[in-house]
Structure 1
Amino acid sequence: MNYPIYLDYNATTPCAPEVIEAMIPFFAEHFGNAASKNHPYGWIAENAVEEAREAVARLIGAKSKEIVFTSGATESINLGIKGIFEAFQGERQHFITAKSEHKAVLDTFEEIEKKGAEVSYLPVNSLGEIDLEGLEKAILPHTKMICLMWANNETGIIHPIEKIAQLAESRNIILFTDAVQAAGKIPIFTQGIHLMAISAHKLYGPKGIGALYVRHNHSLPKPWPQIHGGGHEKNMRSGTLNVPGIVGFGKACSLRNQEMGEEVVRLEVLRNQLENQVLELSDTFLNGSQNNRLPHVTNIAFAGVEGEELLKKINQKVAVSSGSACTSITPKPSHVLKAMGLDSDLGRASIRFSLGRSTTSQEVEQAVNWVRQVIHKLRDA
């Protein structure tokens, strides 16, 4: 198939060849169940899982015992939020999040609201930033959790997690961060953080595997399990472990630890090349801040064109999206851009370009030329 240029790395990334190579033996030769403690098939699988757990922990600055493997970030988010809600059952509970969070977070909070939780949804400004004073004022005596993403999946905006962690720590409140778009892209940490969701397929690992970081040795409660049956993963997430996926996740994290520093610099140059040239077109606008954002992402609004037609035409030669892959099946404008104050038409006519490991300068040049052609054609029509 003649694929278009791929600039949708925030939606998913291809498995690195080294990741595939590491996984293959665990589909056939080393096919054992990691919970089989009585023979070598199980021992080899278990050892591979624990090595991968250490690699995942190293990427985020955690201890290996703090990593709970899940089927992906959405499950990790559900486990973290619903699990804490259940841990505090019987008490009055208040949670704080932001209007620009991923739908996995917003929809999960909507579910616990139905069961009696109070949730405050912080606004963001036109750059997608939250107000730290507003966050502090939103804290109530019965606030149990602050849940804010590390970096936004649509605009790349990075929240001041260090300051948020200090605030949460000073008030003895659980801090949960969706670090899916940050892990493996920029250096991150766990100090002051209680829960963190990450996903393998966003950092050149396989789909269907993710993790929840759960802070140990702290007085605040850990989430209650949402899946029961066997007590796997320290009784926090029962189910036979996806050994090939976990091995691939671990290998991807090791690669990211090695490559991330150079990649940050390379991708920022390419992103700026794309962004600056596209913004030379009249009536185009950057969505979000030019500062304090992920190095590989830009989100650009194109005035004077119809959003659905724009996306359809661009994707003939350049694979991009108008927002989160989880919500791109609907023609509605992005809830993130709406929270930032963009009107519906401009929100629908916005495109997220996200670059990655295989992106070249030549591809960026070709993408820019195609965008120019499409915009001129649509505006002249």
Structure 2
Amino acid sequence: MHQPTQGAAPAAERVYLDHAATTPVRPEVVARMAQVLAGVGNPSSVHGEGRAARRILEDARTLLAGMLGTDPDGITFTSGGTEANDLALGAAPGRPVLVGATEHASVLEAVPDAPRIPVGPDGLIDMAALAGLLAEHRPGLVSVMLVNNETGVVQDIQRLAVEVHAAGALLHVDAVQALGKLPGVTLAALGCDLLTVSAHKIGGPQGVGALSARPGLLLPARLRGGGQEGRRRAGTHNLPGIAGFAQAIRLLDSAEPERLLGLRRRLEARLLAGLPDAAIAGAAAPRAPHITALVLLGRPAELQVIRLDLAGIAVSAGAACSSGKVQASHVLQAMGLGPLAGCALRLSLGWSSTEAEVDRAADAISGLHRPAGTLPAMAPPLPNGMTVAT
């Protein structure tokens, strides 16, 4: 039986606001995965059991292909968004790659020497800088995420696609935080060539994702040793995970983004009312409905996360990709926040979030800090594009 951390609130009383890291697995997904786990059969086998497993695999592939707007052959199942991103980054071998400065670590660390496309204070790609980098480096591929995983800022991918394709490059889009949160997450609607998605952000299991490629685009393998996935990705398929992914896709609700937007607005209104010296990073840009990056001047994020955890509120200080370490956000640093990059909380919503949870979290966060009508004397100034709430 799970025991809560000493001094922390019991699990039943906790509020989970870290859905951008992972969201709870839906009960229907658990049931479907259990059903597949109870069976037997490798999709690569030719006997009856193998063919039954192959049908489960290909049904999921067809479902995902239809949702993302490609042929089933354009879907490559992976171990998650990180592997899908890595596969995409190899789509133009021998040619340079450009990446956004606020990309997920799975992109930035996979191509550490790739030139980074700067963003403005609002978190949006600097189009003039992109044009200069395209002309200078003549890349084969550009990678920019649709929804930033720390701020929720939504990039204008259609505009980027025009510039990237005019320069003769492929465009890869990490849409892990966009699936189920934004409409039009398809290759055609975005105008991109490659699209990454992941199951565990939409109520599916961890450990399964996919890369969608436009029809006819050939991808060199990064993981070799078998003929699975059209020889693009070797290894025995995670069939229960893929079946769970498909079930989570079937459960997506077109009304959910509007519900989440209402919750996010409620959360931010209560936070800013209770914390006069707080600000929302990226508030000047279009944002996805489920992520809030709350900047609290002069208050280290690490201490805030710990104190809120003890109060029964699970939040993050940025991306959950640093082995449990709390570090200053490279996303907020790229947006020009400087020292404030270490003073931001990420609060993220999901399918199980409720108004009661939002209210409790807002009250808890506000209660941790004294009311302040003026900035603390030692607080650094806000960068351009950010204002203190009034």
TM-score, normalised on structure 1? 0.89
Aligned position for 1:292: 286
Q: Indicate whether 1:134 and 2:129 are aligned.
A: yes
| 1:90-137 C-alpha deviation (Å, 9 max, x unpaired) | xxx322111111111000111xx4xxxxx3211111111112232122
Deviation of the 1:331 alpha carbon: 3.6
Aligned position for 2:91: 84
Higher percent of residues as helix: 1
Q: Indicate whether 1:204 and 2:172 are aligned.
A: no
Aligned counterparts, 1:115-194, within 5 A: 119-140=114-135, 142-187=138-183, 188-191=185-188, 192-194=191-193
Segments of 4+ moved more than 3 angstroms: none
Q: Indicate whether 1:24 and 2:34 are aligned.
A: yes
CA distance in 2, matches of 1:291, 1:106: 23
Aligned counterparts, 1:59-70, within 5 A: 59-70=67-78
Q: Report SS of the residue matched to 1:10.
A: coil
Aligned position for 2:304: 310
Q: Report SS of the residue matched to 1:108.
A: coil
| 1:158-197 C-alpha deviation (Å, 9 max, x unpaired) | 1001111222233331111111111121121102322111
- Contact 1:322–1:328 (CA under 8 A) maintained in structure 2: no
- Contact 2:194–2:211 (CA under 8 A) maintained in structure 1: yes
- Contact 1:56–1:249 (CA under 8 A) maintained in structure 2: no
CA distance in 2, matches of 1:134, 1:99: 11
Matched to 2:212, the amino acid is: Y
CA distance in 1, matches of 2:45, 2:283: 51
Matched to 1:212, the amino acid is: L
CA distance in 1, matches of 2:323, 2:43: 37
Q: Report SS of the residue matched to 1:139.
A: helix
TM-score, normalised on structure 2? 0.87
1:32–1:328 Cα change, 3 Å: closer
Q: Indicate whether 1:268 and 2:261 are aligned.
A: yes
| 1:186-242 C-alpha deviation (Å, 9 max, x unpaired) | 121102322111111111111111111122225xxx331111112110010011111
Aligned position for 1:351: 345
Q: Indicate whether 1:278 and 2:275 are aligned.
A: no
Deviation of the 1:290 alpha carbon: 4.3
1:376–1:58 Cα change, 3 Å: farther
Aligned position for 1:34: 43
Aligned counterpart in structure 1 of residue 359 of structure 2, from 365, 373, 376: 365
Q: Report SS of the residue matched to 2:210.
A: strand
Structure 1, unmatched stretches of 5+, are 114-118
Q: Report SS of the residue matched to 2:173.
A: strand
Q: Report SS of the residue matched to 1:109.
A: coil
Q: Report SS of the residue matched to 1:168.
A: helix
Deviation of the 1:294 alpha carbon: 0.4
- Contact 2:180–2:257 (CA under 8 A) maintained in structure 1: no
Aligned counterpart in structure 2 of residue 246 of structure 1, from 234, 242, 246: 242
Superposed CA RMSD in Å reads 1.8
Q: How many pairs does the alignment contain?
A: 357
